[in-house]
Structure formats: structure tokens, C-alpha cells
Amino acid sequence: MKAIVIYSSQTNNTKKVAEAVATELNCAMKPVNDVGDIADYDTVAVGFWLKAGAPDPSTQDLLPKLSGKKVFLFATHGAAVGTPPADNAMAKAKELAKGAEIIDTFSCPGEVAEKVMEMISKKDQKPPWFGAAHAAKGHPDVDDIAAVKAAVKKML
């Protein structure tokens, strides 16, 4: 298996999870805007953050290009794990990567930047994930990192 971790992260939440995945896979990691040629890799772990109910735009561009590869999808989000705002976005990621073999998925909360929290709290219409966003503070935490490492071990 030749693996690589590709991640998208604005405020480092997803990067922290990506580092744990890369450690477990014992492989390199690259930011999504500097992927280069991935033809040689048969396994790609893709980490992304959620924006407007979907994978972030850079990851949306990447996922359709992974046809024929084994793909592990992981995400961080303000939404609570296992709720529709988180699960629907992961479903969108799977759909975008439909030419690939999805080997597993993982997601955990990721602290939402204070400025973003303030901005949204002033809006009349708040997005469905916002109710859970305060609880994402401090995530990903040690338990999230342990959980993703366990998920990768199981996958291997």
C-alpha cells in the first residue's frame, strides 16, 4: 500500500487530525492546494472541514479526481457527530468521490473560530449546525485523536 494524506484546514483542526492519520499510516501528508502528482498512490486519506453543509470547496474539487483509489474520508465540523448536518456533508463527499473505493469515514467536532461564531450569532437565520457549535470548543481533543487513530488501525 502506498498512502498519502491530503488535508484542507483553515484553522488547524483538520490538520491536527490529518497528522494523527499520517502517523498511523506512516505516510506523508500534503495540503489540498499543493497536492502534486498522486498517480503513484493507491490509498488516499482526505481530510476536510465543513463549509455551508458540504466539504470545503478545495476538497470538492479534489474528490472527483480520486477515481480508482482507496479513499479514507475524515472531517471536522461545528455540527455534532452523527447528526444530519454532519452526516449529510459526509454523504456529499462520498458522492463526489464516487469513482473511488471508500474504505472508511471518520468525523469529529472542530472548534469554530470565535469571529465566525459571533458573526453567525447575529444572523436571524442560523445554520442547522450552529446549535451544536459551542460544544465543539476545544476539539479535536485527545479523545478525538485517539478515536481517529483507532479507526485507521482498524482499517489497516
Ligand X SMILES: Cc1cc2nc3c(=O)[nH]c(=O)nc-3n(C[C@H](O)[C@H](O)[C@H](O)COP(=O)(O)O)c2cc1C
Residue 39 beta carbon to ligand X: minimum distance, rounded to whole angstroms: 27
Q: Which of 5, 14, 55, 106 binds ligand X (CB under 6 A)?
A: 14
Residue 42 beta carbon to ligand X: minimum distance, rounded to whole angstroms: 26
Residue 69 beta carbon to ligand X: minimum distance, rounded to whole angstroms: 22
**Which helix (DSSP H) or strand (DSSP E) does residue 66 occupy?**
none
Contact between 52 and 78 under an 8 Å Cβ cutoff? The reply is no
Per-residue x/- marks for ligand X, 16-55, CB under 6 A?
---------------------------------xxxxx--
How many Cβ atoms from other residues are within 10 Å of residue 129's Cβ? 22
Residue 53 beta carbon to ligand X: minimum distance, rounded to whole angstroms: 4
Q: Is 8 helix (H, G, I), strand (E, B) or coil?
A: coil
Q: Which of 2, 11, 150, 153 binds ligand X (CB under 6 A)?
A: 11
Cα distance between residue 66 and residue 77, in whole Å:
23
Q: Is 81 helix (H, G, I), strand (E, B) or coil?
A: coil
Q: Is 62 helix (H, G, I), strand (E, B) or coil?
A: helix
Per-residue x/- marks for ligand X, 87-106, CB under 6 A?
--------------------
Does position 129 interact with ligand X (CB under 6 A)? The reply is yes
Picking from 106, 114, 117, the residue whose alpha carbon sits closest to that of residue 140 is 106
Q: Which of 38, 102, 116, 117 binds ligand X (CB under 6 A)?
A: 116
Contact between 35 and 10 under an 8 Å Cβ cutoff? The reply is no
Q: Which residues bind ligand X (CB under 6 A)?
A: 9-15, 49-53, 76-79, 85-86, 110-113, 116, 127, 129
